[in-house]
Amino acid sequence: MIKNISNLGDAALYCDFGDEVNKDINSQVIKYFRSLKERNIEGITNLTPSYNKLIISFDLNKTNFREIKKLIENENVNEIDENFVKKIEIPTCCEDIFALDIKRLESKLSLKREKIYENFFEKEYFCYMTGFIAGMPFLGDLEKNLRLNRLDTPRVKVPKGSVGLTEQFANIYTYESPGGWNIIGNTPSKIFDSSKEKNPNLINPGDTVKFKKISLEEYDNFNE
Amino acid sequence: MSNYFEILRAGINTTFQDNGRKNLYHIGVPFSGAMDQRNFRLANSIIGNKSHFPVIEFAYQGPLIKYNGDEINFVITGDVIFKIIKGDKEIQGNCYENYSIKDGDEIDIISTNKSVYGYLAINGEFDLKLQWGSCSINTKAMIGSNNGEKFKDRQKFEIKKINSNRIVKKMNYINTKIERIRVIKGTNFDYFSDQGKKIFFEKEFTVSKLTDRMGMRLEGPKIENVVNTNIRSEGLIKGVIQVPADGNPIVMLSDHGTIGGYPKIGVVISADYDRLVQLSPGSKIKFQEINLSDAETLFKLYEMETQNLISQL
């Protein structure tokens, strides 16, 4: 449930679901997000779910903080329709040319790469949120032995399709962008398709993701 | 191509913009749209267009455009120095005034005057491919018309339709400078030391050169964080002022990334946003605290002022 509602400036509502980051709290955020999105409320211009917050932006010409706050307080959130939750498989190639930071992970985590990949590929991940750059999914939770901070100095360019790890999360760079995550592989899959008017995102908050190891040959011949 | 703009000089950051994209933050797509929404709307109103029509936005140095085709009207808004070249005749242009141009005429947008953004609207429709309902170009995310790229030299932009709008000759409007930016306290205001809070609302900050459509970086006395220089990544909106570990505030502008992990010390009120973005690097600003209900009243007044300008046409 929402712990606290406050204003973020004069044109947004800040809903705080608690300090923790876990699947239960995030599922609450996603429930509110989906429920409000479906209702398509006049005046609301954006809904931004994250780990434990939901920010609701609105058009100050059409409504205001008090009105939207009242609406949220009285909102009967729908239970998540399980049909909306997708299970997605992401083919990932971990050859040296893609695994830019595997050596750093091996030395910092004191694990052999075989073990890192074994642990990484066996788990199913939950999409907490998407964003920062278009379509980038934040997936959790990594096994405790794979958790590491960002690079000390972020890369100026992380290649498109890179699969990265930081703390308890994995992500996928949907296009070339600066970034500081530890890169362990690359997917040929199109995670964000800007030519699609509807649903350009392959992975949405609440979806589950499983990575599947592929060879360089499979990577090169990949066809969606 | 019968009617078209030929870009002889692209300018520094020339793009198509409109009122932006809604309801895409959750997938990581920014709002974008014209930075200075008032001047964007005034441009369309003076030329007789609907208020959300795509216009050309330019920053600092604007484009040099050669027009090819049937007679058309254009207007430039903002605080802009430009001239119109008709054969060997040169006319010094005035903002908020309509001009008619014919085949072969040129518009030379020399620069914005002690401001950043200017707008050019025509009584016609550019042939643009919209993306998610908007032409707005976000060059960092490569989203919008023109493949998400800024104008390049020698590009041509077709005008698919010239409208016979009710065109007003001119509007009397002068852009005012803003030095005090009014701010509502942010959700992490208490992350900062008493001294840091005092600095934020009392000291002067300088707009840095590292300012673009994504964000405005400010330089000044450092704002000390006493809790944590990182927060769990969460949503951003335009006008949010984040303070990273280095203590220098950054204001999120229209092309900002949709989520971020730096503490939010404040949010610029909606009524001050259009004038904030017009502050060029080197400008000095001060922040002033304001409460929500005063901010709402100020926005109503600001909007009424815009409406009055439009209804006088």
pLDDT in tens, A155-171: 888 999 999 999 999 99
Among candidates B104, B56, B37, which has minimal Cα distance to B310?
B37
Measure in Å the smallest separation between the Cα of A147 and chain B Cα atoms.
16
- In this predicted structure, the answer to whether residue A78 has a pLDDT above a threshold of 80 is no
Residues 69-128 of A with CB under 8 A from B: none
Tell me if B63 sits within 8 A of B108, measured CB to CB.
Answer: no
ipTM surpasses 0.85: yes
The DSSP letter of residue A133 is S
B187, B270, B303 member nearest A11 (Cβ): B270
Q: What is the pLDDT of residues B247-277, one digit of tens each?
A: 999 999 999 999 988 999 999 999 999 999 9
Mutation pick from A5, A6, A7, A8 vs chain B, by most beta carbons of B within 10 Å, is A8
More confident residue, A79 or B262: B262
Confidence (pLDDT) at B310 = 92
Among candidates B225, B228, B214, B60, which has minimal Cα distance to B140?
B214
- In this predicted structure, the answer to whether residue A54 has a pLDDT above a threshold of 90 is yes
A10, A12, A53 member nearest B296 (Cβ): A10
**Which portions of chain B are predicted below pLDDT 70?**
1
Q: What is the pLDDT of residues A102-143, one digit of tens each?
A: 999 999 999 999 999 999 999 999 999 999 889 999 999 999
Distances A95 to A29, A159, A184 between C-alpha atoms, Å: 37, 14, 9
Q: What is the pLDDT of residues A180-198, one digit of tens each?
A: 899 999 999 999 998 898 8
Inter-chain touch B233–A138, beta carbons under 8 Å:
yes
Looking at every residue in chain A, the average pLDDT score rounds to 93
* Chain A contact set for B272 (CB, 8 A): none
Inter-chain touch A33–B235, beta carbons under 8 Å:
no
Alpha-carbon distance B222 to B215, whole Å?
18
Tell me if B54 sits within 8 A of B93, measured CB to CB.
Answer: no
3-state helix, strand, coil in chain A (%, to 5): 25, 30, 45
> Which run of H or of E encompasses A4?
strand A4-7
Distances A202 to A38, A69, A141, A189, A198 between C-alpha atoms, Å: 19, 31, 19, 9, 11
Q: Which residue has the tokens 């998407």?
A: A130
Confidence (pLDDT) at A172 = 97
**Per-residue confidence band for A1, with pLDDT thresholds at 50, 70 and 90:** confident
H, E, C per residue of A173-185:
CCCCEEECCEEEE
Q: Which residue has the tokens 């890369």?
A: A155
Mutation pick from A4, A29, A36, A46 vs chain B, by most beta carbons of B within 10 Å, is A46
- In this predicted structure, the answer to whether residue A75 has a pLDDT above a threshold of 90 is no
How many CB atoms are closer than 10 A to CB A40?
8
Does residue B124 sit in helix, strand or coil?
Answer: strand
Alpha-carbon distance A159 to A155, whole Å?
10
> Which run of H or of E encompasses B276?
helix B270-276
Asked if the bond preceding A141 is cis, omega within 30° of 0, the reply is yes
- In this predicted structure, the answer to whether residue A82 has a pLDDT above a threshold of 80 is no
Q: Is B259 left (phi over 0), alpha (psi -120 to 50) or beta?
A: beta
Residues 44-73 of A with CB under 8 A from B: 44-55, 57, 60-61, 64-65
Q: What is the pLDDT of residues B272-301, one digit of tens each?
A: 999 999 999 999 999 999 999 999 999 999
Among candidates A21, A4, A14, which has minimal Cα distance to B240?
A14
- In this predicted structure, the answer to whether residue A224 has a pLDDT above a threshold of 90 is no
Inter-chain touch B235–A50, beta carbons under 8 Å:
yes
Q: What is the pLDDT of residues B152-184, one digit of tens each?
A: 999 999 999 999 877 778 899 999 989 899 999
